[in-house]
Structure 1
Amino acid sequence: MSAVLHSIAGSRSFRVNWLLHELGEAVEIVPYQIMDGSLQKPDFKSMSPARRVPALEIDGRVLYESGAIVQYLCETRGDHNLMPEVGSEERAEWLQWLHYAETIAAGIQNLNMQHLFLPKDWMKSPTVMGIETKRLAIALKAVESALSDGREFLLVSGFSAADVMMGFTLESASRYVRFDSYPLTAAYLRRIQARPAYKAAQDAEGPQQFYTQDFYDLPEQGA
């Protein structure tokens, strides 16, 4: 029986979708819309207490936290090299990158709220937007620094599930921080997006639902 992924196109659920494709796991995608009330339906609420995607039905259970799902899939599926073994030299680095993706994503979430989801201009704060954009730019420096030794992916050994967590995050980050100052990160993101499993996951999910612009500039103070 294939896994069932409850998903919103362009959300964190893409991480799970992409990883399942990297693993060659069959997945049925159940699509939702962020603003149509579908996340409030009783059936979905029983699977995801925060009423957010992803929610993954797999192995007779439901998991609803993307980082935990990524780690669970790596630990329960064999015949892959997406996770260093426990006790190996790269294990700690892998875990750190796996979760650092959410450090970056927290800033993106705050910017999404300001730029995309607050319906009236008077609700938005240019000051908050500026602070969060600066914090996001600072957080991205860790990725640029890690890639400065010539590695192609976050681990020296090559592509792993940490890149799955980070890749989706960087694509969203590029909507708010120009990557001109992060050339290694920009090249890294292009390598990730060229992976066959990434493209297959995009095709399975459909167009993202959030962004109507390639880039969102900060509003002028007082505008």
Structure 2
Amino acid sequence: MITLYHVPQSRSMRVLWLLNELEVEYRLVEMPFDGSLGTEEFLTRSPAGRVPALEIEGERMFESGAMVEYLCERFPERGIGRLPGAMDRMAWLVWVHFAETLSQHVAALTQQHIVLAPEDRSAAVMRIEVAHLHQCYAAIEARLSTPVENRDYLLTGGYSAADICVGQAVYMARHFAPLDDYPEATAWFERIAERQSYQDALPGDAANCMFAQPFYPAPGE
């Protein structure tokens, strides 16, 4: 049995989306975005006190990128991983892990807007991190604008876990930086957001969500 420990709207959403796409049986344990991630019990599953945490047949994992690689290798029949030797393997690895670059800037903005008290927030940090998000959006836009056949997704070979990972990071990032100025990235995000696996990964209970509002403007916006 696979058990995923999950905070809605956080990085664990990408693993939940992937599990939905793989169509494998799993148990979901939804955690609130509060101090419960730092309890002694949860730290045995994730030593940094972060989600996702994954249990699979008695073994434990606590890094989302590793989970994505492992699950795609364990369940290759769905074809959303790219195994060694595959044409898109290098690009798949790059984009799966690029999601973490994007997510780090989201994490900094989440800390500024949500975790810190208003008097401890930095307008300069917020503006810098939003600028970094736009740099990431520009990289996605450039990739999707490459004039090759079948550029509906990040990989030439079509939809993959790379779209899941980057798409989920963009889902979080849009709470701080709009995607409107990037037409190819916007069309791509809308395309992958139509998938049932994505819809089923969206938060159901607003009480446990990481974000209390749909958009957090930077100071001066």
Q: Same fold (TM over 0.5)?
A: yes
- Which of 139, 142, 159 does residue 136 from structure 2 map onto? 139
Within 2, Cα distance between the matches of 1:59 and 1:166? 28
User: What do residues 140-187 of structure 1 show as CA deviations (whole Å, max 9, x unaligned)?
Assistant: 111001111361111111110111111110011112222121111111
Report the equivalent of 2:51: 53
Alignment of 1:111-190 (within 5 A): 111-119=109-117, 121-148=118-145, 149=147, 151-190=151-190
Measure, in 1, the Cα distance between the counterparts of 2:96 and 2:164. Answer: 8
Q: Residues of 1 paired with 2:217 and 2:159: CA distance?
A: 32
> Cα distance, 1:88 vs. partner?
2.5
| C-alpha separation in 2, matches of 1:202 and 1:132 | 25
Per-residue CA shift, 1:66-111, capped at 9, x if unaligned?
0100000011113121122312331100000011111111111111
- Output the TM-score relative to the length of structure 1: 0.91
Residue 31, structure 1, aligned to residue 34, structure 2: no
Where structure 1 has 5 or more consecutive residues not aligned to the other structure, the ranges are none
Structure 2's unaligned 5+ residue stretches are none
Partner residue in 1 for 2:7: 8
Distance in 2 between the 1:214 and 1:6 partners? 23
Checking the alignment, whether the CA contact within 8 Å between 2:7 and 2:210 is kept in structure 1 is no
Give the match's secondary structure for 1:22: helix
2:80 corresponds to:
82
Structure 2 residue 196 is the aligned partner of structure 1 residue 196: yes
Asked whether the equivalents of residues 73 and 83 of structure 2 are also in contact (C-alpha less than 8 Å), the reply is: no
Q: Structure 2 CA distance, aligned partners of 1:41 and 1:128?
A: 30
Count of residue correspondences: 217
Match of 1:105 in 2: 103
Alpha-carbon spacing, 1:115–1:143, altered in 2? closer, same or farther (3 Å): same
Amino acid corresponding to residue 196 of structure 1 in structure 2: Q
* TM-superposed deviation, 1:206: 4.3
Counterpart-to-counterpart distance in 2, 1:155 and 1:135:
23
- Show the counterpart of 2:216: 216
Q: Secondary structure at the match of 1:6?
A: strand
More divergent stretch after superposition (165-174 vs 38-47):
38-47
What is the Cα-based RMSD across aligned positions, in Å? 1.7
Distance in 2 (CA, whole Å) between partners of 1:87 and 1:79 is: 16
- 1:214, distance to aligned residue in structure 2 (A): 2.1
How far apart, in 2, do the equivalents of 1:91 and 1:78 lie? 13
Q: Counterpart of 1:94 in structure 2: which amino acid?
A: W
* Whole-Å separation in 2 of the counterparts to 1:180 and 1:102: 22
TM-score, normalised relative to structure 2: 0.92
Q: Distance in 2 between matches of 1:206 and 1:18?
A: 17
| 1:60 Cα deviation after fit | 2.3
Alpha-carbon distance in structure 2 between the residues aligned to 1:108 and 1:98: 16
Paired position in structure 1 for 2:60 = 62
Give the direction of change, closer, same or farther, for the CA distance of 1:187–1:170 in structure 2 (3 Å limit). Answer: same
Q: Which residue of structure 2 lines up, in the alignment, with residue 93 of structure 1?
A: 91
